[in-house]
């Protein structure tokens, strides 16, 4: 087992860190001014995209594109980008586009690749992924009910989606929509995915939903589809494949979120340490109070534990594919957001009142961690996956623990 990053990754880490220090972080105030109420697309971001592309810091997440990195190689880079919540967009590595690009890369027709994938890869447009619905429990994807009915060589779509990230982004031009094409098919074969361009009549972004009183750029939106007609050529892969495609998409998407969260937790810990080193109560610096020293130590240990499991998961996906890493993907999806919210919470406590204000990024970092305990599947669904795998294993080796028992017949 080798825990060193390769020379190529170390070089990219330095290059990316320099880019963040020299261009992204100094642009934070300008970005805030230009984003306005969240619906403007900041010009400074377009400038950063052009610069990042020139430097080869582009599409780093997609194996075979850009620098041709594996998931394991991409992880420490995503961590660096994660420290500023919008920075991934400057490198064309942001959600939900990264997941959509992977999906189209794997399943799209040549025509779809040319029309939708290529402009996404070039950073000219953005996209969203529409699965969750207000009327059904969407953590169970078999519940999804928006109707995608075939009529001649068109699909007619009716229904509502919500919490669709990125749909309010001014560059967002299409949604990948999951819905029911055959209500009578076997439960995992009922759904399909179609591409819906935003300028299709009957399609509307009705509202951008605030999350914990935060409004995120690009938003998390409610969408309405009223007799929306798209050509059958907008079907991705084949009818009935929606569930399988969703599974393939969510694996890599989830691991990217976790990688960025590690960077956000690192930032929270750095802030906590700086504050603890400069603020004094009852005759000593905050870090000299035993409980705060313990929070700092626990936070360091928890980040290291989480990072190791994220790296192992990335390695497993690289070596054997996302299906082989289902348990690990589920595990990091639970562990990392919990770690992130715990560390942000400690940091907010160390900052006192200021930690709850917008003067630090802590409230936003905490909120993002909290979001990830629900978005891309709530904790309980991932815990269910892990427990089921564990019980399947237990069933396979049933009785193997008996010799370890101290019951009379074995003593
Ligand atoms: C900020 C944000 C961004 C999002 N972005 C997107 C997006 O871009 N595209 C998209 O399609 N969706 C998106 N979502 C939606 C998200 O994926 C869903 O909210 C999630 O899958 C849960 O579905 P639900 O809200 O319908 O909760 P429900 O399915 O109603 O579940 C409610 C609760 O029930 C509990 N529960 C569920 N199953 C079990 C179980 N097996 N055992 C025990 N308890 C259980 C859990 O505690 C869960 O939180 C986003 C959500 C948020 C908050």
Q: What is the pLDDT of residues 127-179, one digit of tens each?
A: 999 999 999 999 999 999 999 999 999 999 999 999 999 999 999 999 999 99
**CA–CA distance, 319 with 222 (Å, rounded to integer):** 38
Distance (Å) from CA 163 to ligand 1 centroid: 10
Cβ–Cβ contacts within 10 Å for residue 114, how many?
A: 11
Examine the pLDDT at 12 and tell me if it is beyond 70. Answer: yes
Higher-scoring residue by pLDDT: 186, 406: 186
Residue of 367, 378, 380, 385 best suited for mutating to test ligand 1, as the one with most atoms within 8 Å of CB: 378
Q: How many Cα atoms within 13 Å fall on the side-chain side of residue 399?
A: 0
How far is the C-alpha of 134 from the C-alpha of 185, rounded, in Å?
A: 23
Q: What is the pLDDT of residue 254?
A: 80
Q: Residues of the chain with pLDDT > 70: what percent?
A: 98
pLDDT band at 38 (very low <50, low <70, confident <90, very high): low
Which pLDDT score is estimated for 1?
85
Nearest residue to 334 (alpha-carbon basis) of 226, 239, 258, 411: 258
70 ligand 1 Cβ < 6 A: no
pLDDT of residue 247: 82
With cut-offs at 50, 70 and 90, classify the pLDDT of residue 248: confident
**CB of 51 sitting under 6 A from ligand 1:** no
Which residues face 281 on adjacent strands?
284
The token duo for 382 is: 């991932």
63 lines ligand 1 (CB under 6 A): no
Is 378 near ligand 1, meaning CB less than 6 Å away? Answer: yes
The pair of structure tokens assigned to 195 is 């591409």
**What integer pLDDT is reported at residue 221 of this predicted model?**
97
Is-above-0.75 flag for pTM? yes
**Confidence bin at 39 (pLDDT 50/70/90):** low
CA atoms within 13 A on the CB side of 120: 28
Residue 67 has pLDDT above 90, yes or no: no
Q: What is the pLDDT of residue 90?
A: 97
Per-residue pLDDT at 252: 72
Looking at residue 32, what is its pLDDT? 87
Ranking 51-65, 154-168, 290-304, 352-366 by mean pLDDT, the lowest is 51-65
Report how far residue 208's alpha carbon sits from residue 190's, in angstroms, rounded to the nearest whole number: 29
Complete domains list, the chain, with CATH: 7-108 (1.10.540.10), 126-236 (2.40.110.10), 244-396 (1.20.140.10)
Is 292:347 a contact under the CB 8 Å cutoff?
A: no
Q: What percent of the chain has pLDDT over 90?
A: 88
Alpha-carbon distance 337 to 402, whole Å? 37
Please, what is the average pLDDT of the chain?
94
Number of residues that this document lists for the chain: 411
The confidence score (pLDDT) of residue 218 equals 87
Q: What angle do CA 367, 48, 340 make, to 5 degrees?
A: 20
CA 37 to chain centre: 23
The whole-angstrom separation of Cα 73 and Cα 9 is 6
d(CA 166, CA 128): 6
What is the distance between the alpha carbons of residues 29 and 330, in angstroms, rounded to a whole number? 36
The reply to whether ligand 1 has any atom less than 6 angstroms from the CB of 368 is no
Determine whether the shortest distance from the Cβ of 375 to ligand 1 is under 6 A.
Answer: yes
Q: Name which residue sits closest to atom 12 of ligand 1, judged by CA.
A: 132
Nearest to 143 by CA among 86, 202, 187, 196: 187
Atom index in ligand 1 nearest the CA of residue 377 equals 21
Contact 180, 145 (CB under 8 A): yes
Question: Exposed/middle/buried for 131, CB within 10 Å: 0-12, 13-18, 19+?
Answer: buried
Q: Is the CB of 377 under 6 A from ligand 1?
A: yes
Residue 206 has pLDDT above 80, yes or no: yes
Look at residue 89 in the predicted model and tell me its pLDDT: 96
Top mutation candidate among 95, 163, 196, 341 for ligand 1, by most atoms within 8 Å of CB: 163
pLDDT at 411 over 70: no
Q: Report pLDDT for 35.
A: 83
Can you give the chain as a three-state secondary structure string? CCCCCCHHHHHHHHHHHHHHHHHHHHHHHHHHHHHCCCCCCCHHHHHHHHHHHHCCCCCCCCCCCCCCCCHHHHHHHHHHHHCCCCHHHHCCCCCCHHHHHHHHHHHCCHHHHHHHHHHHHCCCCEEEEECCCCCCCCCCHHHCCCEEEEECCEEEEEEEEEEEECCCCCCEEEEEEEEECCCCCCHHHCEEEEEEECCCCCEEEEEECCECCECCCCCEEEEEEEEEEEEHHHECCCCCCHHHHHHHHHHHHHHHHHHHHHHHHHHHHHHHHHHHHHCEECCEEHHHCHHHHHHHHHHHHHHHHHHHHHHHHHHHHHHHCHHHHHHHHHHHHHHHHHHHHHHHHHHHHHHHHHHHCCCCCHHHHHHHHHHCCCCCCCHHHHHHHHHHHHHHHHHHCCCCCHHHCCCHHHC
Q: How far is the CA of 137 from the centre of ligand 1 (A)?
A: 7
Q: Give the separation between CA 8 and CA 5, rounded to whole angstroms.
A: 8
| 164 Cβ closer than 6 Å to some ligand 1 atom | yes
């Amino acid at each position: 087992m080798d825990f060193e990053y390769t020379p190529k990754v170390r070089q990219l880490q330095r290059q990316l860190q320099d880019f963040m220090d020299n261009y992204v972080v100094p642009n934070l105030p300008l970005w805030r001014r230009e984003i306005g109420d969240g619906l403007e697309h900041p010009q400074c971001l377009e400038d950063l995209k052009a610069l990042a592309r020139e430097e080869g810091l582009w599409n780093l997440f997609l194996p075979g594109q850009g620098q041709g990195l594996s998931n394991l190689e991409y992880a420490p880079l995503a961590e660096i980008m994660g420290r500023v919540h919008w920075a991934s967009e400057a490198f064309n590595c942001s959600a939900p586009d990264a997941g959509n690009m992977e999906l189209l890369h794997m399943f799209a027709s040549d025509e779809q690749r040319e029309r939708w994938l290529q402009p996404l890869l070039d950073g000219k447009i953005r996209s969203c992924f529409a699965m969750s619905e207000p009327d059904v429990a969407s953590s169970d994807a078999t519940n999804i009910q928006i109707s995608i009915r075939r009529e001649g060589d068109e699909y007619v779509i009716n229904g509502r989606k919500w919490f669709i990230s990125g749909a309010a982004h001014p560059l967002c031009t299409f949604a990948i929509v999951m819905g029911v094409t055959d209500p009578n098919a076997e439960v995992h074969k009922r759904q399909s995915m179609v591409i819906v361009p935003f300028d299709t009549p009957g399609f509307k972004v009705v509202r951008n939903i605030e999350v914990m009183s935060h409004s995120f750029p690009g938003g998390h939106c409610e969408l309405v589809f009223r007799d929306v007609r798209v050509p059958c050529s907008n079907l991705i892969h084949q009818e009935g494949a929606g569930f399988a495609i969703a599974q393939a998409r969510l694996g890599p998407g989830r691991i990217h979120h976790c990688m960025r969260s590690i960077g956000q937790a690192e930032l929270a810990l750095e802030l906590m340490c700086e504050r603890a080193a400069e603020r004094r109560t009852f005759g000593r610096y905050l870090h000299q109070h035993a409980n705060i020293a313990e929070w700092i130590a626990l936070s360091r240990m928890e980040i290291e534990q989480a990072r190791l499991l994220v790296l192992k998961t990335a390695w497993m996906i690289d070596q054997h594919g996302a299906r082989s890493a289902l348990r690990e993907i589920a595990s990091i999806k639970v562990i990392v957001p919990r770690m992130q919210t715990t560390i942000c919470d400690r940091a907010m406590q160390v900052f006192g009142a200021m930690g709850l204000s917008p003067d630090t990024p802590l409230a936003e970092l905490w909120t993002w961690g909290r979001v990830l305990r629900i978005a891309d599947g709530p904790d309980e669904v991932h815990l269910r996956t892990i427990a089921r795998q564990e019980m399947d294993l237990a069933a396979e080796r049933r009785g193997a623990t008996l010799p370890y028992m101290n019951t009379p017949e074995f003593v």
